[in-house]
Chains A and B, each alone.
Chain A
């Protein structure tokens, strides 16, 4: 498949060049636009294979990370092909076997991969049915398909598996076959049980940590004590003599060790740490409030994101402004990053939980100085990542160490402190909001100005190589300065443009590409902080206007789908307009459409406040979600529940600790997250839209959850907290 796809790309490349050289012929045209990821992976056999043994294999460049994408994609494929779900096998993210769909990110997998599979499978079904028609001597239109068996009116039949050889899928997709209407679905729209779950509760080989190769040894890395540190000396000779040690790699400030047994590798790591001498420098920004002053004073030009003047908006009778902040926050995966690397005859195979095996391969090739063709990256699940954590970095660590391990495969597992200290964080941000209302309480001016470091520095997103070890090598590779993710989805400015019908809207960003602490994609990118600020400020303005927050939002909303989720959430929550908190209990509301172009989420949150301690507990959250056509309702509910509770954890507790030299967040003791006795009950109302475009939901709830909680605290206490996280200290101070 790989070779044939390359041939195709070569051909289409040649065509494009030919056209470019003869523009005067007037036939220069791009190949037809194909839906979803078919656009860049245009062959049918890149997406599916009909096996003679009665199985169907589907191939996707999107990877399973516990979000259930493998199940959702299987549902779509099974429906279009008219086969039983149990016949499907799925291959995720393998540079030798699957389409290149870039990163599994942005809640785009159902949209991109699901849409491609939908059209590819519909077309494959047509091809198979045509082949059956020829074999049975019956017009295709008269045939009926059930679980891969094609039956003629007279009862004669032939199966897909009989036709596997005759039906030619080695061709470019046309996307001309019509996918099923929503009414024709058997699997899509049902809460099909996830295919990845049973092995996870029975000790099956479910994760990259469970991959074992013959002769495999165990690796650990010794990171510098701080981002600005350089290795001065280390007694690696002594460590090489320790029991079980197979290899020690010292290259600049990159230090790693492999041993026959895992605990030996850990002991060797400890020994290296003890003997290493580092030169440290103060490279980090100030912390606390000073961090935000530091961000706002950065040399970063004001870039206008939106500037919409309104001729009809009148003069403001009341104006207000407020500044909101969000600290650096961790992905904090439960399992630290891990990878396996195996060099054989100059070629490298890496098992990785990266969200993008193709971009990772490209950056590994640059960092290792080898041809990308010599590298194969195979996805295997890791612990949930929630964005760009250490998954890609550890792949280079493992490859560097394996190169010194004499052909032995190396499984390199980061320790807990490696992950906390070195994963790229969600960027600290400042959001400065201002608004004005007219005499009727309508918003006539709105401004949102923000300061932020990058939110996407994944492999392929930066001009250089952003694999951690690369910057520590004796001949270091620079990650380069990443561009911001452009609108309309946006990066630092994601969801900063209000979706409401406000007059005179201005959105400005100060994007600061240099970041002393590594930052990258954490679920929602800038969306979490921007929605927190925007939706908190909407409540502040509503209060100033003397209008109930839900009513205020509806008055400024014409999009019927936005109105529908706001109304559904308010109804389910039993929202009582104008209810004041009683000092200890309160309720808040918020809404966003993720990226302003994906799923709609509105929610209410109930909180209880302990005035003596300042402790906030979220007791209940009620969300309404419109994700277009829903593929797997329980999967959507699971994502939204998880998104709300994870966001409650970010919002109430989480902040990376550091001094001017070192990151001091090293363990769960330094980075508490929400525990069982602190999580709210969550109710999710699904607003299904059969026939509408699929919209991913992995990131829809986080922003609204943060704002709903902050609004509930304000409702309960009358005090507005604008700095994340909403810690007991901050609330106590506000209440004092």
Chain B
């Protein structure tokens, strides 16, 4: 076990774990966050995504030891029920899910996209999300939600 200090959603958090522990389990089980989900543990589906230093990372394959140097943002860090981030509001307004299990990764990937491209085309959104799997098939609603959030964030 070793001690790691992480910056998560603007707060400093210290945990004692093995260095190779996937960040996902630290976020979920030590910091009690629900946003990042276990989907595959192999970086194939995107349910576990978080932002590390503003870039999307698959927390299921990111060792905690590799996550200490940059701030980590989870979906909880974007906004709350009372003060929603435009992306969260847009996903709710578009009713952009059925089960919603993939939703965390979709919002996180969309955040990373909009940070580098404020006016993505539909095709660019599909491209940016194509590494994220959705089984209920809410894809078109998700694309519309990202477009709606982009509009709101620009105005």
A681 to B101, CA, bound (A): 22
Is the beta-carbon distance between B140 and A641 smaller than 8 angstroms?
yes
Interface assignment of A479: CB less than 8 Å from any CB of chain B: no
Pairs A-B, 3 closest by C-beta atoms: A66-B99, A645-B137, A200-B100
Determine how close the nearest CB of chain B comes to the CB of A142; give it in whole angstroms: 41
Report chain B residues within 8 Å CB of A641.
137-138, 140-141
Q: Give a binary string over B94-112; 1 marks a CB under 8 Å from any A CB, 0 the rest.
A: 0101111111100100000
Question: What are 5 A-B interface contacts by the 8 Å CB criterion?
Answer: A201-B107, A203-B104, A261-B21, A333-B135, A676-B142
Is the beta-carbon distance between A202 and B47 smaller than 8 angstroms?
no
Within 8 A of A (CB), among B64-103: 74-76, 79-81, 84, 88, 91-92, 95, 97-103
Determine how close the nearest CB of chain B comes to the CB of A12; give it in whole angstroms: 38
Contact of B84 among A202, A207, A383, A634 (CB under 8 A): A202
Interface assignment of A210: CB less than 8 Å from any CB of chain B: yes
Report chain B residues within 8 Å CB of A202.
75-76, 79-81, 84, 88
A416 to B39, CA, bound (A): 7
Contact A263 B22, CB 8 Å, known A67-B98, A668-B44 = yes
A633 to B132, CA, bound (A): 28
Determine how close the nearest CB of chain A comes to the CB of B132; give it in whole angstroms: 7
Is the beta-carbon distance between A199 and B132 smaller than 8 angstroms?
no
Contact of B103 among A67, A68, A200 (CB under 8 A): A200
Interface assignment of A313: CB less than 8 Å from any CB of chain B: no
A641 to B140, CA, bound (A): 9
Contact A201 B133, CB 8 Å, known A335-B47, A335-B101, A638-B98 = no
Contact A209 B38, CB 8 Å, known A384-B135, A641-B141, A677-B127 = yes
Q: Give a binary string over A196-217; 1 marks a CB under 8 Å from any B CB, 0 the rest.
A: 1111111111110110100000
Report chain A residues within 8 Å CB of B42.
416, 667-668
Contact A193 B143, CB 8 Å, known A334-B134, A638-B98 = no
Within 8 A of B (CB), among A591-606: none
Determine how close the nearest CB of chain A comes to the CB of B32; give it in whole angstroms: 7
Report chain A residues within 8 Å CB of B127.
676-677
Besides A66-B97, A676-B127, 6 new A-B residue pairs in contact (Cβ under 8 A), listed by A number: A68-B98, A201-B75, A203-B75, A261-B17, A416-B42, A646-B136
A675 to B129, CA, bound (A): 8
Chain A interface residues toward B at CB < 8 A: 65-68, 193-194, 196-207, 209-210, 212, 218, 261-263, 266, 332-336, 381-384, 386, 413, 415-416, 634, 638-639, 641-646, 649, 667-669, 673-677, 679, 681-682
Interface assignment of B61: CB less than 8 Å from any CB of chain A: no
Nearest-CB residue, chain B, relative to A643 = B137
Considering only CB atoms and an 8 Å cut-off, how many residues of chain B contact the other chain? 58
Interface assignment of B25: CB less than 8 Å from any CB of chain A: yes
Is the beta-carbon distance between B137 and A642 smaller than 8 angstroms?
yes
Contact of B39 among A196, A334, A677, A679 (CB under 8 A): A334
A206 to B127, CA, bound (A): 28
Is the beta-carbon distance between B130 and A677 smaller than 8 angstroms?
yes
Determine how close the nearest CB of chain A comes to the CB of B70; give it in whole angstroms: 20
Nearest-CB residue, chain B, relative to A200 = B100
Report chain B residues within 8 Å CB of A266.
41
Chain B interface residues toward A at CB < 8 A: 17-18, 21-22, 25, 28-29, 32-35, 37-42, 44-45, 47, 74-76, 79-81, 84, 88, 91-92, 95, 97-104, 107, 123, 125-127, 129-130, 132-143
Is the beta-carbon distance between B81 and A199 smaller than 8 angstroms?
yes
Contact of B129 among A67, A674, A676 (CB under 8 A): A676
Report chain A residues within 8 Å CB of B138.
638, 641-642
Is the beta-carbon distance between B134 and A201 smaller than 8 angstroms?
no
Nearest-CB residue, chain B, relative to A338 = B38
Determine how close the nearest CB of chain B comes to the CB of A587; give it in whole angstroms: 20
From B32, B45, B133, B139, residue with most partner A Cβ within 10 Å = B139
Is the beta-carbon distance between A413 and B38 smaller than 8 angstroms?
yes
From B47, B80, B125, B140, residue with most partner A Cβ within 10 Å = B140
Nearest-CB residue, chain A, relative to B26 = A263
Report chain A residues within 8 Å CB of B35.
203
Contact A416 B140, CB 8 Å, known A200-B97, A383-B99 = no
Is the beta-carbon distance between A198 and B41 smaller than 8 angstroms?
no
Is the beta-carbon distance between B136 and A642 smaller than 8 angstroms?
yes
Determine how close the nearest CB of chain B comes to the CB of A681; give it in whole angstroms: 7
Determine how close the nearest CB of chain A comes to the CB of B77; give it in whole angstroms: 9
A641 to B143, CA, bound (A): 14
Determine how close the nearest CB of chain B comes to the CB of A604; give it in whole angstroms: 17
Nearest-CB residue, chain A, relative to B126 = A676
Contact of A415 among B41, B95, B107, B123 (CB under 8 A): B41
Contact of B141 among A67, A415, A638, A668 (CB under 8 A): A638
A229 to B26, CA, bound (A): 35
A641 to B81, CA, bound (A): 27
Report chain B residues within 8 Å CB of A261.
17, 21, 25, 29
A681 to B143, CA, bound (A): 11
Determine how close the nearest CB of chain B comes to the CB of A269; give it in whole angstroms: 11
A294 to B16, CA, bound (A): 56
Nearest-CB residue, chain B, relative to A197 = B92
Report chain A residues within 8 Å CB of B41.
266, 415-416
Is the beta-carbon distance between A207 and B101 smaller than 8 angstroms?
yes
Determine how close the nearest CB of chain B comes to the CB of A196; give it in whole angstroms: 7
Contact of A335 among B18, B32, B38, B98 (CB under 8 A): B38
Contact of A197 among B79, B95, B130, B136 (CB under 8 A): B95
